[in-house]
Amino acid sequence: MNAGDHLSDTDVLTAVRDSLSRTSLTGPPDVAAILARGRARRRRRVIPTATGTLAVAAGATLAVTALTPGSHDPAHRAAHAATRQPTVQLAAWTVTRLANGNITVSVRDLGDPAGLQQTLRSDGVPASVTFASEVNPACSPYPGGTPRHGIPRLLKHVFPEPYRHLAMQHQPRTARPVHGRPPVQRPSPTSSIVVIDPAALPGNAGVQLGVSPGGGALLLPQVVYASRRCTGS
């Protein structure tokens, strides 16, 4: 007879609780960071497709010169960026290279992550883009490339949007000129935007983007180790 059979349900649960309670865990993060994160969530509630996602860039204030997925032409894109004529198009998703070299990914309804992935790679960004439920198992997180209690510096540099703004206080809804830049038009309120600074990527790193199950938002962009199987290069 198993001696454990003598244990009551309460005994078993108490043993489990006591055992787990002995585990040394980190203390709570700074409550100010949690409050800021919560405020960011409140702001994003105005964006229907942002529900339940962390990385929707509701605070994005960069120009969006939209290209349709099928017309990804760098020269055309560069011309648009150079003229700095912000436009908003209701394409399913768009990829835009800004004059400063950053790449803006805007998603309204992404049904083909592979297409976006190919576009980013052709733009020189090692990238893995999948639906959240189909994450590429070949990808592994790059040190500092994943948010934990706070947002690592690498993430803020590689993804100026949304991470730079996650810990910020409430921002006015109206975009303001930044460093002398002209005012820019906000994207469609149903868009999800991630801005990538390829120059901030370490040499052996790439980006990983997840697409919400409904295809309406980009989830938690991260930095991963670049590899042929993960990011294509």
Partner 1 sequence: MSNEQAEFATFFRASWDPCLRAVLAVVGSPQLAEDQVAEAFARAWASWRKVRRHPAPRAWVVRTALNTGVSWWRRRGHELPLAGHDQTAHDDPWTGLDGSLLMALRRLPRRQREVIALRIFLDLDTDMIAGQLGIEPGTVRMHLSRGVAALRRELTPTNNHGG
Minimum separation from the CB atom of position 196 to partner 1 (A) = 16
List the x/- string, 41-60, binding to partner 1 by CB under 8 A.
xx--x------xxx------
CA nearest neighbour of 192 among 114, 124, 109: 109
Query: What's the number of CA atoms in the CB half-sphere (13 Å) around residue 116?
Result: 30
39: contact with partner 1 by CB under 8 A:
yes
26: contact with partner 1 by CB under 8 A:
yes
**Torsion angles phi and psi, residue 131, rounded to 5:** -70, 155
Q: Please report, as residue ranges, which positions from 198 to 227 form the binding site for partner 1 (by CB under 8 A).
A: 208, 210, 219-220, 222
- Of residues 85, 141, 143, 215, which one binds partner 1 by CB under 8 A? 141
17: contact with partner 1 by CB under 8 A:
yes
**Torsion angles phi and psi, residue 92, rounded to 5:** -60, -40
Give the three-class secondary structure for 164: helix
29: contact with partner 1 by CB under 8 A:
yes
The beta-strand segments (E) located in 44-191 are 93-97, 103-107, 127-131
- Of residues 19, 179, 203, 228, which one binds partner 1 by CB under 8 A? 19
Peptide bond into 202 cis (omega under 30): no
CA nearest neighbour of 217 among 187, 186, 190, 192: 192
Residue 225 CA: distances (Å) to CA of 41, 73, 141, 163: 29, 28, 6, 19
Near partner 1 by CB under 8 A, which window of 67-75, 82-90, 141-149, 178-186?
Answer: 141-149
List the x/- string, 84-113, binding to partner 1 by CB under 8 A.
------------------------------
Positions that interact with partner 1 (CB under 8 A): 2-5, 7, 9, 12-17, 19-29, 31, 34-35, 37-42, 45, 52-54, 132, 135, 137, 139-141, 146-149, 208, 210, 219-220, 222
